[in-house]
Amino acid sequence: MKFCANLTYLFKELPFLDRFRAAAAAGFDGVEVLFPYDHPAPLILRQLTATGLPLALINAPPPNYAGGPRGFAAVPESTDRFRRDFARVLRYAERLRPQHIHLMAGVAEGAEAHKTLIDNLRWATAKASSESFVIEPIFPADLAGYFLSDFDLAVDIIKEVGAPNLRLQFDTYHAQMLTGDAVAAWKRYGHRVGHVQIGDTPKRGVPGSGAVDFEAFFKALHRSGYNGWVSGEYNSSGPTEESLSWMRFAA
């Protein structure tokens, strides 16, 4: 099992570019950055090279800082926007080599949105066939109206797209909030998962601070043979280093 630090959430007590060295010093095997687009790719690459840490994941598309929507893959009137932003994501991916790219569906509903998402995912997975893509069900209270808010729907879409480079992203926080039992959700959907993120309920807290049974969850990961990333994506009330007991427990 490989442990990854989500630098969008962890080590926020440090400037962004200093978080890479802090993650390496804390014993992480890799890092992920949800939206690296604030910083020139060469600066991030320099930190990855200096620490020897691989980049596990980035999100697509770049964020809208004007308060607009996050993601366009399922939005029928935004196909051109999705494909234009996808080109920028690939430019970052070519430099930083993330192991996965999370394609965000966006706010939409209905049959047309479903078709749009299928079409865009087929287009993206074919256009960048050497990249690994993931999609993620998100708890509606965190992103109102987000098209993917159900694990069964996400799995059905992956099957319908039929691309070998598209898998499920599993976040314990969202899984617990959506299903009431993250462990049971893993046992049902884990064979579809390409990337794992962990945080506890009800406010994406430190693993072990809420309702998720992390002892059972990590045992389930081991038993399933999952050998991908386990990324800490949670809010810590103090210095990040004081929140890392879950790494020793999970190992």
Active site residues: 136, 233
C-alpha 89/C-alpha 60 separation (Å) is: 6
Residue 238 amino acid letter: G
Residue 126 amino acid letter: A
Contacts of residue 238, Cβ cutoff 8 Å, sequence gap at least 6 = none
* Strands 57-60, 2-6: pairing kind: unpaired
C-alpha 121/C-alpha 58 separation (Å) is: 16
3 state DSSP class of 102: strand
C-alpha 70/C-alpha 230 separation (Å) is: 24
Q: Are 99 and 57 in contact (CB under 8 A)?
A: yes
C-alpha 177/C-alpha 200 separation (Å) is: 9
Give the CA distances from residue 75 to residues 98, 107, 123, 162, 242, in Å, rounded to whole numbers and listed in that order: 25, 7, 15, 20, 41
